[in-house]
Amino acid sequence: MNIPSNYKGLPDGGDSNDTFVLLKAALDSSVSGIIVTDNKQPDNPIIYCNKSFQHITGYRYEEIIGHNCRFLQGDDREQPERLQLKEAIMKGEHINLEIRNYTKSGELFWNELYVSPIKNANGEVTHFIGVQHDVSRRKKAEEELRHERDMIERKVKERTKELKMSQEYLDSIVQTVRESLIVIEPDLKVQTVNEHFLRTFKVSRVETIDQELYKLGNGQWNIPRLKEMLEDILPTNNPVLDFEVEHNFPHIGKKLMLVNAYRVELEGQYKDRILLAIEDITERRAIEQRKDDFLSVASHELKTPLTTVKAYVQVMERMMHPESTPQFKSVVSKAGSELLRLNKLISELLDVSRLQSGRADINREPFDLNAVVKDVAEGLQTATTTHQIKIEGHIDQPYNGDESQLRQVVSNLISNAIKYSPDATSVEIFLSQVSTFIKVSVTDHGLGISLNDKKKIFERFYRASNIQKHFPGMGIGLYVCEQIIKHHGGDLWVDTEEGKGSTFSFTLPLKNEGDN
């Protein structure tokens, strides 16, 4: 047993050797590192250390005794805690601090140190007792926690900045968009509006924000059908698309507005808000109307002199001298066929304006669609030498519809099939009865239609871009066909593959609405 030679007895001291041994054993079994320094000797050397101290520091007993505690700090001298410790020892005071220490192998450990002075009867500090714990693990956890917190704070700051920027970015888009935008809360109160809305409806932000949509500007948005649709958006998520509102709006007069409404949700926030995008289409509609009116007037105006010229040419044909030159006969005949072509074009334009204005009545009468298809096909067959028009299938009962209009549909589809398959040699027509519908299909093996054009070919005046220059036409035929079929309660569509060909089909219900 190594008892320090200068040991003067334990402070609270048992004076028997047994007590000493017992106390020493108690100190050695402590998990805390314990040292005693002698303040009376120069440089306050360590005169005792227990086993735990040796274990924590990695130094052996004989490497510790006689040293001042500072060896534990190695070269890490700049720690402020060192000064505090020094000051407390000088003043003979108690101190508790955490200080960076190093083991014999140079490994850092955090030492939670309690230093207490021991005084003699005269009040002089004779010894210091140091109790230490290696709190490196706790320190490391604290450090990691701090690091984590710093990182989170930094991320939060960055994210906030990003959000602010994207908010500003979105705001600037919303404010510059040339459409009125308005966001309403689930209780239908206005949450935000953009500048365009305020300018269009000549209202102020104050009289709009937080107001119920239906109470805005004399209840101008209190439209039962719109209300119904808006109430449907939140539970079903169905947007309101292209809803037209014609209204005499305060400040701006009678306007036609196109409303689109969507439920908006942003990353779980702002749930159940509704965004209304409102477009003023009054002007656009008026221009479209003027164009339609012009078309209608122009085709009517053209039709009258044309009919007269046609009559003159017929008279010329009749009055032609039998001995007229073949050249003259050919010119008159060409004039006649060109007039027929012109007449057809003008009739198509008149069809469009009739359909546009809703003046195209259907005169329903039962007729044999097989016969009509056969008749049209035969007529077109005489005009083509390139294609063989084949008919397959049969419809077993008469159809009750407008024969002349449906003749036009069949004629348009077969003419197109021939026109848009210049390198093919046949066009097939298929007639059938499907359930309570009749079905007519016209198949060609020609150019086919691209996906993009397919969506638009039924619009009036639309022609696929690749064919415009090579084939004559005005882009009216399919529009007229679709309208006629729709008015009969049927459906017209195309199955097509670019470069392979197309099949245009229509169905017509055998039972008309209202039939039993």
478 is a site residue for ligand ADP (CB under 6 A): yes
Q: Which stretch binds ligand ADP (CB under 6 A): 53-61, 72-80, 157-165, 456-464?
A: 456-464
Contact by Cβ (8 Å): 249, 220: yes
Residue 107 token pair = 């490994």
Please select the residue that binds ligand ADP; options are 457, 485, 492, 508, rule is CB under 6 A: 457
Beta strands 388-393 and 426-434 are parallel
State in angstroms the smallest separation of the CB of 452 from ligand ADP.
Answer: 11
For ligand ADP, the closer CB: 180 or 496: 496
Distances (CA, A) of 325 to 251, 317, 319, 321: 74, 13, 14, 9
Cβ–Cβ under 8 Å, residues 203 and 217: yes
Stretch that binds ligand ADP, among 142-150, 382-390, 398-406, 473-481 (CB under 6 A): 473-481
If one counts every other C-beta atom within 10 angstroms of the C-beta of residue 301, the result is 11
Q: Which of 72, 85, 113, 449 binds ligand ADP (CB under 6 A)?
A: 449
User: Interface with ligand ADP by CB under 6 A: which range of 2-10, 61-69, 108-116, 471-479?
Assistant: 471-479
* The one among 463, 495, 505, 509 contacting ligand ADP by CB under 6 A: 463
Q: Please tell me the distance from the alpha carbon of residue 68 to that of residue 77, in angstroms, as a whole number.
A: 14
Buried b (16+ CB within 10 A) or exposed e, 310-345: beebeeeeeeeeeeeeeeeeeebeebeeebeeebeb
Judged by phi (left if over 0) then psi (alpha if -120 to 50, else beta), residue 249 lies in beta
Label residue 264 exposed, middle or buried (CB < 10 Å: 0-12, 13-18, 19+): middle
Q: From the list 4, 58, 250, 473, which residue makes contact with ligand ADP (rule: CB under 6 A)?
A: 473
Residues 404-443 that bind ligand ADP (CB under 6 A): 412, 416-417, 420
Q: How many residues bind ligand ADP (CB under 6 A)?
A: 20
d(CA 343, CA 352): 14
Distances in Å between the Cα of 143 and the Cα atoms of 36, 79, 107, 137, 386 are 31, 17, 17, 10, 89
Position 380 contacts ligand ADP (CB under 6 A): no
| Interface pick for ligand ADP out of 130, 217, 477, 490 (rule CB under 6 A) | 477
Q: Which two tokens stand for residue 97?
A: 């601090």
Q: CB within 8 A of 96, min separation 6: which ones?
A: 112, 113, 114, 115
3-class state of residue 296 by DSSP: helix
- How many CB atoms lie under 10 A from the CB of residue 26? 10
The only residue of 223, 467, 491, 495 in contact with ligand ADP, by rule CB under 6 A: 467
Binding segment toward ligand ADP, per CB under 6 A, in 198-206, 259-267, 282-290, 466-474? 466-474
Closest CB to ligand ADP among residues 233, 481: 481
- The verdict on 445 binding ligand ADP (CB under 6 A) reads no
CB closer to ligand ADP out of 473 and 489: 473
Residues 487-506 that bind ligand ADP (CB under 6 A): 502
> Of 43 and 459, which has the nearer Cβ to ligand ADP?
459
Looking at the Cβ atoms of 217 and 477, the one nearer to ligand ADP is: 477
Answer yes or no whether residue 74 interacts with ligand ADP by CB under 6 A: no
Per CB under 6 A, does 351 bind ligand ADP? Answer: no
Nearest distance, CB of residue 346 and ligand ADP, angstroms: 14
- Residue closer to ligand ADP by CB (options 268, 472) is 472
| Binding positions for ligand ADP, rule: CB under 6 A | 412, 416-417, 420, 444, 446-447, 449, 457, 463-464, 467, 473-479, 502
